[in-house]
Amino acid sequence: MEKDKAKLYGYMVVFASWLAVFSLFGYRATFAMLKGPMSVDLGWSQAQVTLGYSLMMTIYAITAFFAGLVLDKWGTKPVYAIAAVFGGLGFYLTSLISTHLAYLFTFGVLAGIATGMLWVTSTVSVRKWYVGKTYATMWGFAFAGAPMAQWLLAEVVKGTMADGSADAWRTSMKVLAVIIFALLLLAVFMAKRNPERYDMKPFGEMPVAKGAAAPHEWTTKEAYSRYAIWGAILMFLTSMMAEFLIWTQLVSYWVQDKGWDRVAAINVYKVIGIIGIFSMPILGIIADRVVSKVAHEAKGRKIMLIIGPTTGVVACIFLLMCTATPTWVAYVAAFIFAVYWAIVPGGVVGYTGAIYGRKTLGKIWGLATLIVMGIGPFLGSFIGGWLKDVSGSYQYSIFYALGSFIVSILLAFSLPLKAEPRS
């Protein structure tokens, strides 16, 4: 009975994380589809519209640090509850704006608070219940909420903007507000605290040899005095710069640079989400098998972190090969981006957890998220829009993303396999 109850609680944690990730990417995935119509309706430049998204990611990063502190102390329920309120308000109030300052507050600040409550909480809560050879698989199932949001919410946006009116994006945001609020309330109900709270142990935990010392409990200050966390941060940051540039500019690249119909561009963009629904758990299983094969979790996670941005480089090359009509090249690029997406975001948390343990992972990874998400997505998305404004083409943005992925590969090679506490 206790084993069955532990399994149920673990599955509930994964499902709550699925809902959180779905809601988080409800903001990220729909922006690429809404920013064009917003720009036309409001008469703003691409840089002005993208600035709201960039500010959202900065606030997201700051909030993520505090979310990690709350998570370690009080669990996930209060974090998801705060996200539900601000997530609903972020979309709804943005649908009412008419000035740029109001937009920066509603979409930049309110949505930033909501999304910042979701990433660290979802990744770390799964890591606290599943470790060793089980983490990547279960995180893969949870992270499948991201591509599901990209696919399903693309349909919501298409449906609510079908009449072609200039302000149809406002209707889209009102509908999205209701969806996000409802799903995060469900996440509050499903969420559980750490397994020790229920006298349970995490799944996949390696047995401690008789007489062996207990795992070292890392403080945040101590963890940040080692290269392992800084290597992970820099590797993740450079990947995030490239990733967010692609997410925010991809549809516009196909429509404005290649001359595609917007509906056709969105349909190809959705392929990333559709494939991701399956690639997330499949790549999670593969990552755990790599860990089993090398019999060293940090080493297995490092191998996957080298592979991840390498797929990003290949995907960018295929994007640069796209023609004036959607062909197999674009679909291959979408497929490869779905593979990248399934590896890096969860893999870097798995690597960090393998190095520093899970007890204080919320604080350690919360601060890492503050650094990575405060810089990477802001610069990536803003530089993408800025390069378009100054050059008249999105092609230079793709080259920038390709270079950023290459730097990420080199940093992944530098990751150490352990960190020794000072005696």
Render pLDDT for 304-333 as a digit per residue (tens, 0 to 9): 999 999 999 999 999 999 888 888 999 999
Query: Residue 26's closest CA among 168, 126, 175, 161?
Result: 175
Q: How far separated are the first and last CA of the chain, in Å rounded?
A: 42
d(CA 288, CA 132): 8
What pTM was computed for the model? 0.77
Look-up of token digits 């999205």: 176
Give pLDDT tens digits for 377-419: 778 877 887 888 888 888 888 999 999 999 999 999 999 998 8
Contact yes or no for 131/13 (Cβ under 8 A): no
In this structure, what is the dihedral angle of CA atoms 247, 251, 256, 260, given to the nearest 10 degrees?
Answer: 150
Query: Residue 72's closest CA among 369, 354, 359?
Result: 359
Range 151-155 contact pairs with CB under 8 angstroms and sequence separation of 24 or more: 151/270, 151/273, 151/274, 151/277, 152/273, 153/26, 153/29, 153/30, 153/179, 154/29, 154/30, 154/33, 154/266, 154/269, 154/270, 154/273, 155/270
In this structure, what is the dihedral angle of CA atoms 315, 288, 241, 369, given to the nearest 10 degrees?
Answer: 170
Which of the following CATH numbers is that of domain 2-194+219-413: 1.20.1250.20, 3.40.1000.10, 2.60.40.10, 3.40.50.1370?
1.20.1250.20
Q: Which tops the pLDDT comparison, 346 or 80?
A: 80
> Side chain identity at 359, as an amino acid letter?
K
User: In a 3-state reduction of DSSP, which class is residue 191?
Assistant: coil
Contact yes or no for 272/334 (Cβ under 8 A): yes
Give pLDDT tens digits for 336-360: 988 898 888 888 988 998 898 877 7
* Mean pLDDT calculated for residue range 170-174: 92
> Tokens for 393?
């083409």
* pLDDT beyond 90 at 277: no
d(CA 191, CA 201): 17
189-225 CB burial, b ≥16 within 10 A, e <16: ebbbbbbeeeebebbbeeeeeeeeeeeeebebebbbe
Q: Which tops the pLDDT comparison, 71 or 141?
A: 141
DSSP state of 194: -
Give pLDDT tens digits for 214-269: 567 788 889 999 999 999 999 999 998 998 888 778 888 898 888 888 788 878 88
How open is the CA angle 280-410-230, to the nearest 5 degrees?
Answer: 80
Sign of CA dihedral 15, 20, 23, 24: negative
Query: Residue 177's closest CA among 191, 162, 160, 189?
Result: 160
d(CA 67, CA 84): 14
* Mean pLDDT calculated for residue range 44-62: 84
Sign of CA dihedral 228, 234, 239, 243: positive
